Structure 1
């Protein structure tokens, strides 16, 4: 069974048992362990098939939980990179026990059941501890091993095992046969690439095309276009009868546990295709890099393919991305020299629009909607602008497909407004039923509020249901008549082809005119019912709404209805940020430029450096901007630069490279831009950041993109970049307030501050910022406006208590006096409100001094705040 050096001999073992033992060796190699132990054997047995799992389950051990425990124990074993794993003495003892078990059973060879019996006798070590935790001991598996025989019979009744010719057909699909059935969309705008593909296939040497392109550019579509051309016979005579067999890479790799299993499957497949005398066979391998797996897997694939490619006995068309090419180069760079590459670039806006226009008919037939030209143009432009993880035309096709499905659901199903009303009504009924038996005051009040809302919703929902039912009936009638007309026109074409003149006359002069008359009458009735003929037409606004659902980007706000809101942006920002009108105007101008497209599309919407003393509203303006743009204050990524003062912390913005700790997590900054590509980025107190952070900011401000530690690109072209700094605060506080009232005065202040900035920031950094916005110190008049804003927030907090707050002008003036400190901005005012109003209110509420419905009036008497109930 084993010699003194720990080499095992498995001549007496069945094929399944040999695979289990070899699989344990593979687990040790993949995990870089120095020994192959009984724990590796336990892990491989459980991973092997459902028969072993059923044996464990019947013996009282959950197989999934046991597998997880074995995996956790394997993770704790020490690693020895580069070492060749040897069989441990404990595993040799186990194999010896398995051989004795087979002798006891008088079996001709050692099977999986004997390995299980020997494993159950393991009472020490990690494997023994795991089995003991489930109460499994010697002989525990013996009553249940018959399950293995049943599983073996079931598998033998299924497909032929890998390595037999019958299995090869499971891994391929004939694309030419699919092309003859018209399953593929037309390929538009790729004529040069298609011709190059034919030229490479006709070469004497290196006649294997390798199509390289980013995800979504149309690699698969190009191959399917070739399949259609072969099906039509629109190819050179050498390819006229060729078959394009697409390899299912996932099925080929799935379940391969042993070394060489993938290569064996691939060899059987290639031998079968090569031996087919009926026609030329071309193997299509999409995502070619998937054949080159991790660890030792994949090295043999290159060795198998290289002589095959060199001899040219079978031609291969492969596809991959640039990232996949790098992966193949790392594993086996010589294999790429056997191919001839075809680089597929993403189409431009005009070409992508033509592609979409050409395939729109297929989507109209599938969804039974009409797609307008404006929708096609919008799908391409918006996909190019806002979806950065994939390339055109795939993103635009996906966008148009889901928009058409959305329109179909809207026309044929329940409209979104009615659906929301119905769901809300159901929710209200459930809440009212839960409160039905509660008689305390709060429950009664809540139930009354919910019943009032339900009484308002139900009539509206019923009216909408009536309209929808009427509309659906009209739409169904129109669609049925249109189908009848299309069938009649198709029948006319067949009759004209077959020259059945009597049938032609009947269709032309009787049937089709009658159907057309009924269709016109139905469309007129639809207009009387309020169902517009364009109700099933996909338009630009529908595409924008779908993109909004995908990304959270308020693309619909870019349409005409948002213009008025954008023109009044300064007023909206001033409602939240008091005393900083110039800052609000600078931000508003940049956002309006970005919304109408009058900016460099590769750079952020706007980049600003906010200068000013602490507490004057720099961060608050950034929050107000996020709320204005996205109706959500949380649509802002705030990075406190005091956390990135060290060089190693700056690396966390883009993430660690592959192989380093936390490399899978990505960077703070790049992941934030990837999750919310249309957002506000706030770099607070930027002067505290390390110099490396400024290098990253330079790239964002100049190119609008950043590459993270894993080589992925994050797009910042739809962000507003705001940096705050306290540099120059002392100069701002010392400035005469009258200078802020004129444009010349403000420019003079900016010039003085720019000198200080040049002493701290590099010129290339300042040169890339769109605008330096200076925040002035807050006056008492400004604080008076801030008091009202803070009091509204306090009243909102008291809403649940049903208590209202009323402050006299004297009380508000007193708060301004207590909170006025030019060097600290509005923060002392917030502390004054907390100290003088919120603390006394909290104490009185806890003591039960205020009742629901009361109004608390606050005034100042003898320099102290007084509270009276009304």
Structure 2
């Protein structure tokens, strides 16, 4: 039978039609080649209690029948692709059902069951025969079909519309919600709302499509329009307009019958046309993606003729998908691009809605907390746009404060849970007799003994705290009620009640409230009860999100920048001049003495291999953005070919991998605040330099899908080994003076011009020369490497102690000027780490011991203590 053959179900009742469609869906879900009568039997038993009652009346237990049906379904042939089509047996069954119904009668479920019972071959026949159900055996029991209240699966749009108001089921009236005060104030979007009103007042294409990144405020703008209509602050033509938000999830839920979504939409559109209403669809692309081209064909003529007024929203990615599916549909809309607010605008938004959060959480939000929420969200929550990211941060910070007030403060909670955890661990080690377990048990018992008195004291304070807070809250509520009664008595001029309130009840409650306030103060809870959300609360929540230490987030910018050389030099040894040059450029950018459209700084690092160029880039990322992972490293040896350069910005639409985006643009979109490291830049193809020219000059780059990546908050670092031999041959004394360094830089500029174009060199902020490492520099690097090695040994509770002689011996073994610090790492690996690993595996070092390493001639000796 051809796959495209279909049947007409006009004669079928809605419940029977739904069963046939459900059988089709089941076959598709199971990836079966054909729709068989067994699929119809499975769906009838699964979704219709009346059918189960018929089988039970016929002497077949429905649960047993279902089990047998599942066994037969598992034996059917599966297809790798495509949809199932109706088998000849299924077509014959439907023909018999139509004959059962007779002319002029709709085919119902009872007719399908009678036709099903007549199966004599195939999986359905096997199931029926297993329960001694032959042709006509279900007919005497059809009365049971209507004895059970039931609803046919996949209720159609028509029945939904007749069963109740379709708009109540699939839409929400935003204007009615605005009149109830359900929306937060919308700040700073007046221009966008006015533009929305202008589009709605147009004669043609008066359907706005709001386009913006998630979280920028598209739904808030529609809410602002609803609030304006609720207060009649709109033109007369729109004064009685209702805004109905379509619930796409509700519309798609339970739509098993093909075309049912379109039927429901038709019912919605018909209801919208019947009243002066504007239909709002959020994430328009999700609706179209679920229901295919049929909705396109349904929407376009209605929008073009103005039969339905619509406002919709989508993201730039959703807009691209809509354009790819049907560009003619987009021509019916007028695009309204919604940009994220500036940090100053986001602060105003949060100030406007802060009272709503204060009322909900019963806390007070300080203005420093609002400013910190915007500043920290913009810097650290880069995957979400303002103001949504800052609102989320402030909301959770307020919730955190509420939890501390009503529940346990964080330090109390940590201590109590720690004791519980230690006791659980102790019970697990109770019967272990080996030395390691005994030592661990002793350590846990010691920690429990230290913590338990503190926890007991905390519990006493906690009980006192809760009692004081409960009494204070109850008395404040009682005082509020009495004040309300006092006002009412004054209005009614009830002097007897007034005197009792003023001279007896209120003074008594006031006295008890003062005592409760004193108890709260005595418990040291005054600050907690006030519930003021501070910038530290915001930073603590963000620390939970990102893992970045709070101290780093709240550190003063000025104090941090003044210590920049000190912080960087702790990680990068022997490159004082390079560190100073980078620090000056960053400070210059941070105080605003730079072009705001360009990157914070752009540097070309020149020097031999292993002298600290990449390490300085990592240290700079950690210093500026509090996270060493805020660095994107691109090895330019991967971009030597012309076609590889395109991978930086991504393939244009229609090409392979166009959905992936570009390496460089996607990295910056994910982390706008980051360090970009282009390693060995001289190896890149010339097309890469053309892209970098735009980055260095404009601070922007457009990817293959037309989206713009902003580089204004990045630091661009390029490394190169050009002139390395000249640097190695230079007298070390030249690096000690500014004149010597300038002379060397001029010489290297000549070599750079042979590799890089003048216009590219001219856009780089500074060319920084890294000097070869001396033995004194390597001595400092030894300490850094040994500290890292000791961290690796903490799990085994081992400590490492190298004598000065051993350290200098490592320096001698690792000193190769042409290779920098990398030979030193290999020397530590061979001389210290390898022998240490062998001794640990052999059980040579007990837990908690210190390994002393000394040098004996040309060899290292290890002493256990």
Q: For the superposition of Structure 1 and Structure 2, which TM-score range results when normalised by the shorter chain?
A: 0.7 to 0.9
Match of 2:296 in 1: 299
Q: Alpha-carbon deviation of 1:536? A: 0.6
Specify whether residues 44 and 556 from structure 1 end up closer, same or farther in structure 2 by C-alpha distance, changes over 3 A only: farther
Partners of 2:268 and 2:314 in 1: how far apart?
A: 21
CA deviations on 1:627-669 (whole Å, 9 max, x unpaired) are 5567765554444333343445444445555666555555554
Q: Alpha-carbon deviation of 1:800? A: 5.4
Specify whether residues 434 and 674 from structure 1 end up closer, same or farther in structure 2 by C-alpha distance, changes over 3 A only: farther
Instruction: Verify: 1:250 aligned to 2:249, yes or no.
Output: yes
Tell me the secondary structure at the aligned position of residue 604 of structure 2.
strand
Instruction: Verify: 1:546 aligned to 2:541, yes or no.
Output: yes
Q: Alpha-carbon deviation of 1:574? A: 3.2
Partners of 1:594 and 1:481 in 2: how far apart?
A: 56
Q: How do 1:122-137 and structure 2 match up within 5 A?
A: none
- TM-score, normalised to structure 1, is 0.79
Match of 1:440 in 2: 434
Match of 1:182 in 2: 181
Q: Alpha-carbon deviation of 1:300? A: 2.6
Specify whether residues 580 and 322 from structure 1 end up closer, same or farther in structure 2 by C-alpha distance, changes over 3 A only: closer
Partners of 1:740 and 1:779 in 2: how far apart?
A: 12
Specify whether residues 747 and 670 from structure 1 end up closer, same or farther in structure 2 by C-alpha distance, changes over 3 A only: same
CA deviations on 1:298-334 (whole Å, 9 max, x unpaired) are 2233245236x525xx644444455555555555555
Q: Is the 8 A contact 1:208 1:340 kept in 2?
A: yes
Partners of 1:555 and 1:69 in 2: how far apart?
A: 61
- TM-score, normalised to structure 2, is 0.80
Q: Alpha-carbon deviation of 1:365? A: 1.0
Q: Is the 8 A contact 2:48 2:151 kept in 1?
A: no
Q: Number of residues paired by the alignment?
A: 838
Specify whether residues 291 and 813 from structure 1 end up closer, same or farther in structure 2 by C-alpha distance, changes over 3 A only: closer
Match of 2:151 in 1: 155
Partners of 1:120 and 1:654 in 2: how far apart?
A: 64
Which residue, out of 390, 402, 426, partners 1:408? 402
Which residue, out of 828, 834, 837, partners 1:833? 828
Q: Alpha-carbon deviation of 1:777? A: 0.9
Partners of 1:376 and 1:783 in 2: how far apart?
A: 47
Match of 2:447 in 1: 453
Q: How do 1:595-610 and structure 2 match up within 5 A?
A: 603-610=598-605
Which residue, out of 341, 346, 349, partners 1:355? 349
Q: Alpha-carbon deviation of 1:814? A: 3.1
Q: Alpha-carbon deviation of 1:679? A: 4.5
Partners of 2:97 and 2:681 in 1: how far apart?
A: 74
Instruction: Verify: 1:618 aligned to 2:613, yes or no.
Output: yes
Tell me the secondary structure at the aligned position of residue 776 of structure 1.
coil
Specify whether residues 821 and 519 from structure 1 end up closer, same or farther in structure 2 by C-alpha distance, changes over 3 A only: same
Specify whether residues 46 and 544 from structure 1 end up closer, same or farther in structure 2 by C-alpha distance, changes over 3 A only: farther
Match of 2:219 in 1: 220
Instruction: Verify: 1:745 aligned to 2:744, yes or no.
Output: no
Specify whether residues 394 and 497 from structure 1 end up closer, same or farther in structure 2 by C-alpha distance, changes over 3 A only: farther
Instruction: Verify: 1:365 aligned to 2:359, yes or no.
Output: yes
Match of 1:645 in 2: 640
Instruction: Verify: 1:580 aligned to 2:580, yes or no.
Output: no
Match of 2:391 in 1: 397
Q: Is the 8 A contact 2:117 2:133 kept in 1?
A: no
Tell me the secondary structure at the aligned position of residue 154 of structure 1.
coil
Q: Alpha-carbon deviation of 1:496? A: 6.8
Partners of 1:321 and 1:632 in 2: how far apart?
A: 29
Specify whether residues 595 and 264 from structure 1 end up closer, same or farther in structure 2 by C-alpha distance, changes over 3 A only: same
Runs (5+) with no aligned partner, structure 2:
53-61
Match of 1:77 in 2: 81
Partners of 1:510 and 1:236 in 2: how far apart?
A: 56
Partners of 1:841 and 1:330 in 2: how far apart?
A: 62
Instruction: Verify: 1:731 aligned to 2:726, yes or no.
Output: yes
Out of 804-813 and 20-29, give the one that drifted further.
20-29
Q: Alpha-carbon deviation of 1:489? A: 5.1
Tell me the secondary structure at the aligned position of residue 150 of structure 2.
helix
Partners of 1:763 and 1:67 in 2: how far apart?
A: 71
Q: How do 1:459-858 and structure 2 match up within 5 A?
A: 459-488=453-482, 522-533=516-527, 535-552=530-547, 557-560=552-555, 567-589=562-584, 603-626=598-621, 633-634=628-629, 636-655=631-650, 667-670=662-665, 672-673=667-668, 678-702=673-697, 716-798=711-793, 805-845=800-840, 858=853
Q: Is the 8 A contact 1:95 1:115 kept in 2?
A: no
Q: Is the 8 A contact 2:638 2:644 kept in 1?
A: yes
Partners of 1:779 and 1:549 in 2: how far apart?
A: 43
Runs (5+) with no aligned partner, structure 1:
79-84, 124-130
Q: Alpha-carbon deviation of 1:371? A: 1.4
Specify whether residues 162 and 781 from structure 1 end up closer, same or farther in structure 2 by C-alpha distance, changes over 3 A only: same
Which residue, out of 262, 268, 284, partners 2:280? 284
Partners of 1:24 and 1:660 in 2: how far apart?
A: 39
Specify whether residues 507 and 375 from structure 1 end up closer, same or farther in structure 2 by C-alpha distance, changes over 3 A only: farther
Q: Alpha-carbon deviation of 1:77? A: 3.3
Partners of 2:271 and 2:604 in 1: how far apart?
A: 67
Tell me the secondary structure at the aligned position of residue 723 of structure 1.
strand
Match of 1:127 in 2: none
Out of 710-719 and 261-270, give the one that drifted further.
710-719
Q: Is the 8 A contact 2:157 2:267 kept in 1?
A: no
Tell me the secondary structure at the aligned position of residue 812 of structure 1.
helix
Partners of 1:49 and 1:3 in 2: how far apart?
A: 29
CA deviations on 1:545-594 (whole Å, 9 max, x unpaired) are 33444455667524346865654443343333322222333444455567
Instruction: Verify: 1:418 aligned to 2:412, yes or no.
Output: yes
